[in-house]
A = this chain, B = another copy of it.
Amino acid sequence: MLLQLVNPNSTAAMTEAIGRQARRVANPGTRILAQCPPDTPASIEGHADEALSVPAMLALIREGRAMGAAAHVVACFDDPGLDAAREEATAPVVGLCHAAVTVAMATARRFSVVTTLGRSVPIIEDLVDRYGAARQCRRVRAVELPVLALDEDPAHAEALLEAAIRAARTEDGAEAVVLGCAGMADMAARLAIRTGVPVIDGVAAAVKLAEALAAGGFATSKLGAYADPRPKRGRPAA
């Protein structure tokens, strides 16, 4: 099956890392296509960055649909444009926050999220609430590092994340921790080992959930809110 991951930001290194992590966890029969648009913001830190990235991301989703993708992943933890992507697709569409929260709800009674900047905390809190995990999520924590700094000084970033995970365990009573940024995928396994806390990476969660939906034949319903966009002036032709 072809699994399309679209990183909505335009940072190729992050897209490559996302692809690597996806291939690491994918089923043998899954072909990973990890893409990003050329000109969107270099990272997604807030709703304006999201908004500027979504149209180009949707164009890639439409291409993926034409290529016969079995499922799509919106490969950014803020799940930008997730509902819009479901309108554009017929295959299932999964977001990183959506998938990670789904995994956390299935494997831990209480969890916390650790993300980059404090400005993203309310965004993620509201996503967690939308995915129905408000009662299970103890807290969304920020290490106050910009997204791109994760890559610039990974050791420093990992130390901050490790401290935040430990705090989530002892202060929040978290039984698992969700990493709240696609750029943290590489660190998940090491952080879990070091802290003894289950650490859930959204890329891995999304790949597995997307494969599951696709292989189970669970397509996006086109009967209501996720019906194909209506053709009209100002929309790209189908």
- How many residues belonging to A are interface residues under a CB distance threshold of 8 Å? 89
Report how far A146 CA is from B230 CA in the complex, Å.
9
Q: What is the minimal beta-carbon distance from A53 to any residue of chain B, in angstroms?
A: 8
A119:B224 contact, CB within 8 angstroms: yes
The reply on A58 being an interface residue by CB < 8 A is yes
Q: How many copies does the complex hold?
A: 6
B175:A221 contact, CB within 8 angstroms: yes
B218:A200 contact, CB within 8 angstroms: yes
Report how far A86 CA is from B94 CA in the complex, Å.
25
Report how far A208 CA is from B216 CA in the complex, Å.
6
Q: Which of A126-134, A150-158, A179-187 contacts B (4 or more CB under 8 A)?
A: A126-134
A47:B84 contact, CB within 8 angstroms: yes
B204:A216 contact, CB within 8 angstroms: yes
| 8 Å CB interface, A1-43 against B | 9-10, 25, 27, 39-43
Residues of chain B contacted by A129 (CB below 8 angstroms): 135
Can you name 9 extra interface pairs (CB under 8 A) apart from A109-B225, A205-B218?
A: A45-B229, A46-B230, A47-B81, A51-B81, A52-B55, A106-B213, A108-B225, A175-B226, A207-B216
